[in-house]
Amino acid sequence: MSATVPHKLVIYQLLPRLFGNTNTANKFYGSVIENGCGKFNDITVKALTQISSMGFTHVWYTGVIEHATMTDYSAYGIRPDDPDVVKGRAGSPYAIKDYYDVNPDLAVNIPNRMAEFEALVNRTHEQGLKVIIDFVPNHVARTYQSDVRPAGVRDFGEDDDVTQAFSATNDFYYIPSQPFTVPKGYEPGGADFSSPLKDGYFNENPAKGTGDDVFTASPSINNWFETIKLNYGVDYRNGYHMHFDPIPPVWDKMMHILSFWANKGIDGFRCDMVEYVPSEFWAWIIPQMKERYPELIFIGEAYQTEQYSNYLFNGGFDYLYDKVGLYDAVKRLTRNEHGASTWEINKVWNHDCRGFDHRMLRFMENHDEQRIASPYFAGDAWLAVPGMIVTATLANGPVMIYFGQEVGEPATEASGFSGADGRTTIFDYWGVTEHQKWLNGGTFDGGQLSASQQQLRSFYSKLLNLCNTCPAIYEGKFYELMVANERNAGFNPGVYLYLRYTTEQRILVAINFNRHNNPITIQLPDDLRQQLTIGNEGMFTDLLSGNAFHVADIAGGLAVTLPAAGGVMLEF
């Protein structure tokens, strides 16, 4: 049975392919046999108990639905994919091959793969956690073919008129009379990887439009060339004309797919690249899904700040990514970039997300972004402390952690299709080295972690548990303290100050992105003290460290020394 909906969503993102993999070979472009692969069954009750104890409420299982791969599963009735249109030996989780199946890589008993996933869903729920999976609506793999679709379901493209570049009744876009051309410069698997299918050719005639809105038979290596764009009734090449009446076939097919997964107990969908799909579709499908499944949540990956309100209020999303706003500001501050200022954080809640700050999903890592501990980001996982405090406590909305972040995974190596760019690969079979120290051979006890890594994990656990034990954080109001303190000694662009409060609890959050200790006297404005009936003296306790101190004259300010690259959460 699913747990009660929490006050604040605290999401743990993991790739099952990587999460439970204990293989440490890490051969460049290694096969599933050489480098190993995590399974659904590796995510045990012990693993889920540990995740829950850190304060998480939801697990986002990334890469569950079957996608194109170079691994041959034809012995199990699964048609092989052409390596010329697969990125990496394992393949991209966002090049969906069958919306009605799960990734065979993740099963111990491949014919029983769906049952193994369903058992994972049940285990997750039994530990009081909710399940999120990806919904990839914009594009599919070039080799898409559903082997297990329910009876009566028509496959994508099955009824298309391929002589038409665009038709409102087609599932795909076409480039008539032109065959698809594999991008030049792409060596699938590397120069030392041979395959009878690796010949620089993929049989697709006529060519179909590519997922990133590229309507040519010859997409470049920098395009999403391994994917096909789905047709929601928008004629992109003739003035972006909309053809939504009657409802395009893709809309109804997606309704069936979402219902298929919701019926398996999925609690939420992280929707990929929602801006590449017309907002009218979201306004049509989300209310219908919520009517059928009232507790279902929809999280949208979005990047256009000017469209946020549209996707939230018209499209019906519960939450949207806050990458362009808070993530980018916090990254600049964490990296100590020239000109970075905490006033950028004010712009996020006061302008970009005004009126819906509580509906923005905040994070410092995910599968698309660089690892904090990598030299491309900060080079030191501990430098994330101030940014994570802000990310988790600025508003009532969700906060997300990417697996391995809590132990300082740096992702320093090139793994195959994924280069040495500070990102953990989503394309290759791989062992995530620092995460494996916590995994510790499948015991999930952190037995190989260093003392520093154990302390870092304890910080994340303390912070994330506060998110749902402190009413001021999960349902409280926000009061900005920057303006009231900008002329005080010790104030500078590396310091950020705010109050989170309810009638029962007050927490003063003081953040220091500077890489040195920062003494400051924090003033609480007269109107705030009157509004909250704050007396002349009080006891302040840092919820992160447990340190407490008495202030005899609150009107005169709180003299505190903020730790280098750190912060305090002072309850009073």
Contact 478, 499 (CB under 8 A): yes
Residues 6+ apart with CB under 8 A from 458: none
The separation between the first and the last C-alpha atoms of the chain, rounded to the nearest angstrom, is 38
Parallel, antiparallel, or unpaired: how do β-strands 96-102 and 297-300 relate?
unpaired
The percentage of the chain sitting over the pLDDT mark of 70, rounded to a whole number, equals 97
User: What DSSP letter does each residue of 493-511 carry, written as one string?
Assistant: TTEEEEEEE-SS-EEEEEE
Residues 184 and 487: their CA atoms lie apart, in Å, by: 58
Give the separation between CA 507 and CA 529, rounded to whole angstroms. Answer: 13
CA separation, residue 369 to residues 20, 109, 243, 356, 528 (Å) = 21, 33, 35, 24, 39
Residue partners of 57: CB distance under 8 A and separation at least 6: 3, 6, 8, 9, 10, 11, 129, 130, 468
Write the CB contacts of 485 (distance below 8 Å, at least 6 apart in sequence).
Answer: 491, 497, 520, 522, 523
Does 188 score more than 80 pLDDT? Answer: no
In this prediction, residue 192 carries a pLDDT of 60
**How much is the average pLDDT of 484-509?**
97
Each residue of 6-30: pLDDT tens digit?
689 999 999 999 999 999 999 999 9
For residues 90 and 72, is the Cβ–Cβ distance under 8 A?
no
For residue 226, give the nearest of 88, 72, 352, 333 by alpha carbon: 88
Q: How confident is the model at residue 190 (pLDDT cuts 50, 70, 90)?
A: low
pLDDT, tens digit, for every residue of 283-307?
999 999 999 999 999 999 999 999 9
**Domains in the chain, please, with CATH?**
10-138+242-467 (3.20.20.80), 476-571 (2.60.40.1180)
Report the alpha-carbon distance of residue 265 to residue 67 in Å, rounded.
Answer: 21
**pLDDT tens string 411-423:** 999 999 999 999 9
- Report the pLDDT averaged over residues 324-350: 97
Query: b or e along 317-346 (b: 16 or more beta carbons within 10 Å of the residue's beta carbon)?
Result: bbbbbbbebbbebbbbbbbeeeebbbebbb
Q: Which H or E element spans position 66?
A: strand 65-67
Q: At what angle do helices 451-467 and 385-393 cross, to 10 degrees?
A: 20
- Percent of the residues in the chain that have a pLDDT greater than 90, as a whole number: 95
- Read off the pLDDT of each residue in 376-401 and give the average, rounded to a whole number: 98
The pLDDT of residue 186 is: 80
Res. 196 pLDDT band, cuts 50 70 90: low
- Residue 2 above 50 pLDDT? no
Residue pointed to by tokens 């280098």: 564
Q: What is the mean pLDDT of residues 162-174?
A: 98
pLDDT band at 1 (very low <50, low <70, confident <90, very high): very low
All residues at 6 or more sequence positions from 419 whose CB lies less than 8 Å from its CB, including other chains: none
